[in-house]
Amino acid sequence: MVDPIVVAIVVIYLLATVLIGYYSRVRLKSAMDYYVAGRRIGSVVNGLALESTYLSPASMLGLPAFIFLLGYPFWWAMVAIICGMPLATLLTAVALRKYAPVSYADYYADRYGDERLRWWIGIVLILGTILYITISLVGMALFMVAILKIPYLLALTIGTVITMFYVVYGGMIATSWNAAMQALVMSFSAMIAAAAIVWQLGGLEGVYYAAHASYPRIWNTPADFPEIPHVFTGAWIAIICWYFVWHLGFATMPYTVVRFFTVMDLKSARRSIFWCALIAGAFYVSLQIIGITAKYMIEKHHPIAVAAGGNMTAMAVLTQIQKTYGIGTIVDYSMIAAVEALGNPVILGILCAGGLAIAMSTAAGWAVVINTVIARDWMVKLLKWKKAEERPIFYGRLIAFIFLFVSFLVSIAPPALVLDLSGWAFIVIICSIGPGLILGLWWKRATRTAMWFTAIFMFILSMIAWMRAYFILGHHARFFLNDILFANPNALITPHQVWVIPVGFIVFVIVSLLTKPVEEERVQKYCVELTKEV
C-alpha cells in the first residue's frame, strides 16, 4: 500500500509541470520563442535549467549505483562532472552566445562554410536524442513503478504524455521554466534524503563508519592494492579515466550548448554556469552520501531486510525488488531502496517527484534540440520546404512529438543495450563533433576536412571500440583491445572507451594541418571576434 502523502506530493509536482507548460504558451509568439525562448532567459533560470537538463536519470539512479558497486574512488568521477561545468564558461558558452545561433548545427555549417554539415550533425543528434529520451522515460517510469507501485506501461504513459504536453505546447520557453523548477525539485529531493541519512547515522563520521561497516574495502583506493573496492577502480589509470569520462560533456553536448543561445546577454551566460555549479554540486554531494551508505541502509533498515530478520545482503534485497518490477538492472534500485529504508513517506514522495523531474527535463531538453535541427535546419535550410518555412512552430511541435513517441515505443520493452548505449552516445558526441566545436573557436587552423573526417571517423571508431568492449570483453569499462594486447580483459580500465576523446582532438589537429584552411573572413569571425574578451 502506497502512503497517500507520497501520491499527493507526486500529483502536486505533475500539476505544477502542466501549469507551467500551459502558461508558457502566452509568451510563445514566434519561431524564435519556440526555438530559443526569444533569448530572454535570465542567469538563475538558465543555470537551474542547465543543471536539470544536463543531469539525467543516469545521474540520479546510475551514479549512486556506481558508488554502490565500485566504492569511494568513483566519487572522483562525480567531482570531474561538476568541475567540467565552469570550463564551459570561457571555452564555449560566451563565444557561442556572442554568435547567437538558433540551432546547434548553425555553428558548424557557418564556421566550416559547409551547409551539408547540418546533415551529419543531425544524424548524430537523432541517435543521441532517441537514446537519451528513452533512458529518461525508462528512468521516469522506474521511479513511479518502484515508489508509486503502478504498472510500468501506465507509468511510462503518464510521464511521456506530460513531457509531450509541455514541450510540444510551449517549446523552449516552457522547457526552460519547467527545467528550472525541476532542478529545484530534483536537487532538493536528493539533499533532503542525504541529510536524513547523515542525521540517522549521527553525522559525517557516522556516515564514514557505516559505509565501512557495510563493506570494509569501500573507502580503499588503488594504493591499497590488492584490497581494492572493485577491479574497475583498482588502478590509478582507471581513476584517471573515470575522472575524465564525462568531464568535457557540459562544454560540448548539444542540450547544454543550446541553453547558452537562450540567455539574454553574455553576463547571463557566464553567471548561469555559477548557478548551475552551485545547485549541481549540492545535488552530487547528496548522491555521493546516498551511494556510499546505500549498502548499510538497505541491509539494516529496508523493510524487506528487516522482515527477513536482518540477515539479507543488500544485493539479495535489490534482486528481490528487481524481480518484483522486472525493469532495469538490480543496482538501479539501490538509490530508491536506500531512501525507502528511511521509512519516511514525505522524503520518498519528494524523491519520486525529483526522479520524475530529472528525467522529464533531460527528455525535454533533447526534444527541443532535435526539433530545431530537423524542422528548421533540414526542412527549411537544406530541403527548402516552403510549408515548413511558413509554419515553423507547427513543424517544430510535430518533430518533438514524433521523437517523444518513438522513444516511448522503444521504452516499452527497452533492450539492455539501448540503455547502456546512452553512455556511448555521450562519448561519441564529445569525440566526433566536440573537437570541431572547441578548436573551431580557439584554433585558426581548424579546417573543413578535419571537421568532416573527425566527425565520421571518430563516430565509427568509438562505435567499434565500444561494441567490442561490450560484447566481447563483457563491459564498456574495459579497454577494447585488452584481450589482444595484454591477454587480460581487465588490463586497462577505460570506461566508455574514454581514450577516444583525446584521440578525436589529435585526429582533428593532424587532419587540419594537412588540409586547406577555411576562408579568412570565417577565421576572423570565429577565432578573433567571438573569442576576444570572453
Partner 1 sequence: MPWPPKVFWVGLIIMYGSAVLGWTLEAVAKMNKIAPLPILYTSIYSTFLLPVIIATLYFFFPERAEAKRAREAAAREAKKAEEVKKEG
Lookup: cell for 10: 507526486
- Which residue, 307, 373, 374, 379, is CA-closest to 341? 307
- What x-and-dash track marks residues 92-121 binding partner 1 by CB under 8 A? --x---------------------------
- Please choose, out of 331-339, 387-395, 485-493, 525-533, the segment that lies near partner 1 by the rule CB under 8 A: 525-533
Which one of residues 97, 259, 271, 448 is an interface residue with partner 1 (CB under 8 A)?
271
Residue 31 is a binding residue for partner 1 (CB under 8 A): no
- Alpha carbon distance 390, 29 (integer Å): 14
By beta-carbon proximity to partner 1, the closer residue of 2 and 79 is: 79
By beta-carbon proximity to partner 1, the closer residue of 265 and 519 is: 265
Residue 91 is a binding residue for partner 1 (CB under 8 A): yes
By beta-carbon proximity to partner 1, the closer residue of 204 and 417 is: 204
Q: Identify residues 431-470 at the interface with partner 1 (CB under 8 A).
A: 441-444
| Structure letter (DSSP) for residue 474 | S
Which one of residues 2, 102, 285, 467 is an interface residue with partner 1 (CB under 8 A)?
285
Query: Which residues lie below 8 Å from residue 25, measured CB to CB, with a gap of 6+?
Result: 169, 170, 174
Smallest distance, partner 1 to C-beta of residue 487, A: 28
| Structure letter (DSSP) for residue 486 | T
Which one of residues 13, 34, 75, 152 is an interface residue with partner 1 (CB under 8 A)?
75
Return the C-alpha torsion angle 18, 20, 23, 24, nearest 10. -120
Return the C-alpha torsion angle 384, 386, 388, 390, nearest 10. 130
Residue 337 is a binding residue for partner 1 (CB under 8 A): no
- Alpha carbon distance 215, 300 (integer Å): 13
* Residue the block writes with cell 563491459: 475
Residue 79 is a binding residue for partner 1 (CB under 8 A): yes
* Residue the block writes with cell 536528493: 190
Q: Are 79 and 243 in contact (CB under 8 A)?
A: yes
- Residue 151's CB is within 10 A of a number of other CB atoms, namely 12
Q: Identify residues 215-254 at the interface with partner 1 (CB under 8 A).
A: 219-223, 236, 239, 243
Which one of residues 7, 18, 32, 80 is an interface residue with partner 1 (CB under 8 A)?
80
Residue 528 is a binding residue for partner 1 (CB under 8 A): yes
Residue 520 is a binding residue for partner 1 (CB under 8 A): no
- Alpha carbon distance 338, 314 (integer Å): 10
- Alpha carbon distance 269, 274 (integer Å): 9
Smallest distance, partner 1 to C-beta of residue 251, A: 12
Interacting residues with partner 1 (CB under 8 A): 72, 75-76, 78-80, 82-83, 85-87, 89-91, 94, 203-205, 207-209, 212, 219-223, 236, 239, 243, 267, 270-271, 273-274, 276-278, 280-282, 284-285, 288-289, 441-444, 527-528, 531-534
